Amino acid sequence: MSRYGMPSKIPGDEYVLHMDAETAQIVARACELYARVRCGQFEEIQHLTVWPQGEKDPTFCERIQKCRESLEFAKKAAFPELNGPGHSYGVGKFRDSDTAWNVYQAVRYIMAWHEHPEGGYTVNFREPLKYSDAPMPRCEVRDGNLEWRECFIDPKTGELVNTDAAVEKFEKKYGGK
């Protein structure tokens, strides 16, 4: 059983989320934060909470210092074996962290190519590397003109797949565009 009181594994079942671009970006950032904190990168909490408020706040430096000290204390309590700032676990230590990182990569990748089909030079355009033994997530993009495109990352090649066959499969499954 999972911690939510439901069976933790149901073979063949998939969960599908439909969300707008802003929500997808938040989901990607949440998965990135989860993966990083799970591996001991507690300073990411500070980046999410204190930094966006800006350096113009007169209490900024004091708050950054307090936050840094508190997070270092929490990190030592959670992971006593990680000594020193910047020390963390990497890929392969925790399956759930690796799976969250896969979700983050998949959403980041599909959004980058959807929003900038000409490509780019940031890490967002690199094909995601699969870190977990869980299936690589698939993303569907619904364009503003209401045409569906099913896009997914081929687990064998790591390539983004967006084909007419995928569109036909979607239309057959969901009854049209």
Read off the pLDDT of residues 156-167 as tens digits, 9 standing for 90 and up: 665 666 656 655
Residue 4, pLDDT score: 47
Distance CA 124, CA 49 (A): 23
The pTM assigned to this predicted structure is 0.73
Helix or strand (DSSP H, E) at 110: helix 95-115
| Selection from 138, 136, 137, 111 nearest residue 125 by Cα | 111
The count of other CB atoms within 10 Å of the CB of residue 81 is: 8
User: What does the mean pLDDT of the chain come to?
Assistant: 80
Residue 146, pLDDT score: 47
User: Mean pLDDT, to the nearest integer, of 13-28?
Assistant: 86
Classify strands 160-161 and 148-153 as parallel, antiparallel or unpaired: antiparallel
Residue 129, pLDDT score: 85
The count of other CB atoms within 10 Å of the CB of residue 52 is: 7
| Phi, psi (deg, nearest 5) at residue 98 | -65, -40
